[in-house]
Chain A
Amino acid sequence: MLKLHNCKKIFKKKTALNGFSCEFDQGIYGLLGPNGSGKTTLMRCICGIMDTDGGNIESDENIIGYLPQNFGMFKTLTVYEMMDYFATLKNIPSKTKEEEIKRCLELVNLTEVMNVKTKGLSGGMIRRAGIAQAIMGDPNILIFDEPTTGLDPEERLRFKNLLKKIKKDKTILISTHIVSDVEAICNQLIVINQGKNIYQGSLEEIRSAAKNKVYIVSEKYEDQLEGNYFIKDRISKDNENFLYVLSNSKIKFGEPAEPGVEDGYLCLLKN
């Protein structure tokens, strides 16, 4: 169980967290928010990398597995030596250390390169190594900051599969701006904007936030759009161009469409 109550974090000129409150139970949580909304700051505060300037963070766990946005390793060490380095810092007993390192490397499919120097790894492999160090010691809370950034589709799929393997009895928080990842991985969603928790709920609930607000409109009516609307996409169908529009008011000349998570997310932000 992880509880955040009225957390505040102020940098010199910017308020990164502005009374953020939230409760996490077991499950995979997606943290969505625009750039600079406070996602990384929030994660750093949860992991204890930063102190909050107000509010409190309660957790039953001492160990939190964390994959930072910029994860790196010492280039002169091999993958195994690097994991050994992390394992020592994580106070994993020396008796079980080797076994644990191998287990984690196997989970992220890096066993084959464990004796290769880290400077020889691809970006995706380094991310996976980062995930391996995060899950080492089997922490109950896992926090991944932009884990799929820079990964190719195959790697992303692998990551999703990995989460399925490890998610049991764990609280996992994933920050990302790739909504499709959230849809595929998470069962709960938190939207952060300007350091505040503006939404927390299931994927269905966030979809319903955009219910009756999504329309497909022929491009020829673009000039006639009125009120508070947002053109999310332009699509072509049967040699005709259409606009994918989010609007608070009903569009008479538009066709109502089924909203997705991204629509719900955008509606929350735009409102």
Chain B
Amino acid sequence: MLKNNLKLLLKSPHISIPLLILLLSTVGINLYAMSSYFMNSDIFAYAEKSLWLCIIGFIINFYASYEFFYQIRFSDTEETIQSYHNVKNKSDMVSLLLLAVFPFVQFVISLFFNCVLFSTSGMTNDSYMVHITLVYFLYIFLGGVTAVIFGALTARKIKRIVAYTIFALVLFLMSGISAFIFEGPSLSSSINFWQIKYFFAYLLPNNLNTIPYDDYGFPCELYRWNLSLFWVLFLLMLLIFTFRLTKKKLKIISVCLCAAAAAVNLTGYLMGGSHIEAGSGIDSIFLSDYVYYKNNKTEVKQQSADFKITKYEMLLNISRQLDAEVTMSLSDHQKGTYLFTLYHQYAVSNVTDESGNPLKYSRSGDYIDIKPDSSISKIKIKYSGYSSVFYSSSQGTALPGNFPFYPMAGYYDLKAKFGEYNHIFAPKTEYSVTVNAPQKIYSNLKETGDHTFYGKTNCPVFAGGLYEETDSDEYHICNISSEILLSEEITPEFLDDVQKKIDQLDKNSGIHLKDYYWLKMSLTFCNQAFGNNVLYSEDGIMLSSVDSPEETAKSIIEQKKIYDNAQ
């Protein structure tokens, strides 16, 4: 049956030629992308180019599927085949499988080129390969399969002109063009027109031109898998529904199974979670909070706290989003109300004292007021959510301590301006943190055990993603995977040079670089988080660029002074 369908497909030039072009362009684009990699060693630029295939694939796979099933439908063979004993549906399923082979071949070809690149360029970081395999599978294979089922379904029920109009509309909603078009009206009114794209926006990458964070890679979060699987299962359910099965029980069971699995994935998608959108959508890192602060004109407050937090004990669970339990030890309290700043997207579910007694609290935007009836020594706050800029997802984590992903004492103006927040440096405090995340988490705090960190700082930072630790006897260094990072990585030699410069510039600085944990952050992250390329704390130093030892030495000395002067 497969052979016959393949023969039919190959002998239909209006279908086989576009599919052949698709496969050839898969090879061609990968070769072109590969050559550009060898010119500038930018692995993401390579992957970005090869990912254009998912868009081409989506269009051609839909076309091929529609035309193939349309040909069967209008060949006047349907009635004849239906008269054969139970083979019509089998034949359709075989055709569907045959057409699904093409996105799979596209996926395999693209992966093959990545493997070649991986092995020939001496890459060692497996996490990149895992990441790119998942990304290709999600966008090239699952995207292609969605198009194939969509094509098959529409060919069975809808006329050509209507089917292609629907497809063009879906493609428009999936594309970054619609995000761009909806941006203006959404910004100038209180209506979020982007919601029209809600069920289509993440089937393919929205914007392939911008990789926001080197340590994050391409967006491939759980909710995107949920959306893709939802569409695959939902369309499959509709397709099976159109089948005429003599075994009605089988049809009911198949439809129910698909419907249940689609519902699970839809629920997963509706649950959402932390994501990172680089496009021009209202949900993007650039606009999401800008729009929030524009539309929710909450009073901007700036008031220092009349109490001190002497210690933070944090339990940070990161999966779809951040689920946190933060216990703060308090001192020096004078008034009845404790004021905190916590980013508005983190929804507070529970506030208790040291004994677990609930405390009265009120929330307004980024601000929380807690009014205990009696004196307390600790406050525990449970909350969950995510920021569009500082993500915490199954794919990566970027939580800088000068962004209130944890309650900060006092009121701060956090107002966002196109993807950037005001940088808040809280007083130096003791932190004991447990982080449970799907990826390994790195921090400027000292790692004291599995998932646990401890130390004193005015800015605890937690990062996870495409990192790898550099082997060195003298230094503790963690870089963004060297294969991914275009700029230089932190090396022991570089740090030796920096140490020399520090000793030359300030003999009494007391800075011994071997005592610190070194973390190389992406430039975007550092700019957005700290507005500086160096973040100093007692246990760890974060750098975003390693171009000049002298400039780095100056920045470290300067940042240390600021740190030492912090309360």
B20 contacts A by Cβ under 8 Å: no
Q: Is the CB of A48 within 8 A of B246?
A: yes
Q: Among the listed A51, A73, A88, which residue makes an inter-chain contact with B77, where contact means beta carbons less than 8 Å apart? A: A73
Report the minimum CB–CB distance from B18 to chain A (whole Å). Answer: 15
Q: How far is the CA of A71 from the CA of B12 in the complex (A)?
A: 20
Interface status of B81 (Cβ within 8 A of chain A): yes
**Given A48-B85, A63-B85, also A130-B80 (CB < 8 A):** yes
Q: Is the CB of B76 within 8 A of A70?
A: yes
Using a CB-CB cutoff of 8 Å, which residues 63-107 of chain A contact chain B? Answer: 63-64, 66-68, 70-77, 81, 84-86, 88-91
Report yes or no: B7 in contact with A71, Cβ–Cβ below 8 A.
no
- What distance in Å separates the Cβ of B11 from its nearest Cβ neighbour in chain A? 4
Q: Which A residues are CB-close (under 8 A) to B12? A: 74, 76
Residue A74 contacts which of B13, B77, B79, B244 (CB distance < 8 angstroms)?
B77
Q: What is the bound-complex CA distance between A73 and B84, given in angstroms?
A: 15
* A72 & B85 in contact (Cβ 8 Å cutoff): no
B75 engages A89 (CB within 8 Å): no
Could you give, for residues 31-48 of chain A, a 1 whenever the CB lies within 8 Å of some chain B CB and a 0 otherwise?
A: 000000000000010011
Q: For the complex, give the distance between the alpha carbons of A115 and B1 in Å.
A: 20
The yes or no answer to A184 lying at the interface (CB within 8 A) is no
Shortest Cβ gap from A8 to chain B (Å): 18
Given contacts A71-B76, A74-B71, contact A89 B8 (CB under 8 A): no
Write out the residue numbers on chain A whose beta carbons fall within 8 Å of the beta carbon of B75.
72-75
Find out whether the CB atom of A66 lies under 8 angstroms from the CB atom of B11: no
B296 within 8 A of A: no
B482 to chain A, nearest CB (A): 53
For the complex, give the distance between the alpha carbons of A106 and B379 in Å. Answer: 92
- Is there a chain A Cβ closer than 8 Å to B40's Cβ? no
Cβ–Cβ < 8 Å partners of A48 in chain B: 82-83, 85, 246
A176 CB contacts on chain B under 8 angstroms? none
What band does the interface of chain B fall in when counting residues whose beta carbon is under 8 Å from A?
20 to 34
A62 close to B (CB within 8 Å): yes
Q: What's the minimum C-beta distance from A2 to chain B, rounded to whole angstroms?
A: 14
Q: Are A49 and B79 in contact (CB under 8 A)?
A: yes
Inter-chain CA distance A70–B12, complex, in Å, is 22
> What residue in chain A is nearest B8 (Cβ atoms)?
A74
B82: min CB distance to chain A, Å: 4
Q: A76-B12, A77-B11 are in contact. Are A89 and B1 (CB under 8 A)?
A: yes
For residue A77, which residue of chain B has the nearest CB? B11
8 Å CB contact of B79 from A62, A70, A86, A90: A70
- Chain A at the B interface: mostly helix, strand, loop or mixed? loop
Knowing A49-B83, A62-B85, A89-B1 are in contact, say whether A81-B77 is a contact too (CB < 8 A). Answer: no
Q: Within 8 Å CB of B244, what residues of A? A: 51
B4 close to A (CB within 8 Å): yes
Beta-carbon contact of B8 and A66 below 8 Å:
no
A89-B76 contact given A74-B71, A77-B8, A81-B7, CB 8 Å threshold: no
Q: How far is the CB of B80 from chain A (nearest CB, A)?
A: 6
Say yes or no: is B186 at the interface (Cβ < 8 Å to chain A): no
Q: How far is the CA of A9 from the CA of B272 in the complex (A)?
A: 48
Tell whether, in the assembled complex, residue A81 and residue B11 are in contact, meaning their CB atoms are under 8 Å apart: yes
Closest-CB distance, A146 to chain B (whole angstroms): 13
A175 at the B interface (CB under 8 A): no
**CA gap between A70 and B71 in the complex, in Å:** 15
Task: Tell me the smallest distance from the CB of B96 to a CB of chain A, in Å.
Answer: 16
- Which B residues touch A68, using CB under 8 A? 76, 79-80, 83
CB distance from A67 to the nearest CB of B (A): 8
Q: Is A133 an interface residue (CB 8 A)?
A: yes
B80 lies within 8 A of A71 (CB): yes
Taking CB atoms and an 8 Å cut-off, the chain B residues in 3-23 that contact chain A are: 3-4, 7-8, 11-13
Once the chains are docked, how many angstroms separate the CA of A67 from the CA of B82?
11
A70 to chain B, nearest CB (A): 5
Please, what's the 1-or-0 string for B413-435, where 1 marks a CB less than 8 Å from any CB in chain A?
A: 00000000000000000000000
Most buried by A among B79, B83, B85, B246: B83
B87 contacts partner chain A, Cβ-Cβ < 8 Å: yes
Q: Are A66 and B77 in contact (CB under 8 A)?
A: no
**For B1, B13, B85, which residue has the most chain A Cβ atoms within 10 angstroms?**
B85
Query: Is B91 at the interface (CB under 8 A from chain A)?
Result: yes
A69 — nearest CB in chain B belongs to which residue?
Answer: B79
Which residues on B sit within 8 Å (CB–CB) of A88? 1, 3-4
Bound Cα distance from A90 to B11, whole angstroms: 21
Contacting pair A76 B79 (CB below 8 A): no
Closest B residue to A64 using CB positions:
B83
A156 CB, min distance to chain B CBs, angstroms: 21
Name, among B12, B75, B244, the residue most crowded by chain A CB atoms within 10 Å (CB to CB): B75
Shortest CB–CB separation between residue A203 and chain B, in angstroms?
A: 28
When the two chains form their complex, are residues B4 and A66 in contact, meaning their CB atoms are under 8 A apart? no
Other A-B pairs, 17, CB within 8 Å; known A62-B85, A85-B8, A88-B4: A48-B83, A51-B244, A66-B80, A68-B76, A70-B76, A71-B76, A71-B79, A72-B76, A74-B72, A76-B8, A76-B12, A81-B7, A84-B4, A88-B3, A89-B1, A89-B4, A91-B87
7 interchain pairs, CB-CB under 8 A: A71-B77, A76-B8, A86-B80, A89-B4, A90-B84, A130-B80, A133-B80
Closest 9 CB pairs of A and B: A72-B76, A66-B83, A68-B79, A47-B83, A76-B11, A49-B82, A89-B87, A85-B4, A70-B76
